[in-house]
Amino acid sequence: LAPEYRRGETLCSGFCFWREGDQLTKVSYYNQATPGVLNYVTTNVAGLSSEFYTTFKACEQFLLDNRNDLAPSLQTL
């Protein structure tokens, strides 16, 4: 990534996919963060921000919109 797009509070992040059948796949998103992210998390837990919700809804919509294209490549992981 270009330096202007790097966030200092996130060390690494990624998705995990678990296939649970022909019609169900579970998706988890993991973040390893520094203490600098604590203010963002506590704000969202308190319901004062919709930033995480908006981000996760966008990820969900992307996965739903592209599920047919993504499914074959995920099966080879």
pLDDT in tens, 4-47: 766 667 777 788 888 888 888 888 888 777 777 777 667 666 66
Total-model pTM: 0.42
Per-residue pLDDT, averaged over 44-63, amounts to 73
Per-residue pLDDT, averaged over 45-50, amounts to 64
CB-count burial class (<10 Å; 0-12, 13-18, 19+) for 12: exposed
The whole-angstrom separation of Cα 32 and Cα 71 is 26
CB-count burial class (<10 Å; 0-12, 13-18, 19+) for 40: middle
Cβ 25 vs Cβ 18: under 8 Å: yes
Q: What is the pLDDT of residue 22?
A: 81
Q: If you ran DSSP here, which 8-state letter would residue 34 be given? A: -
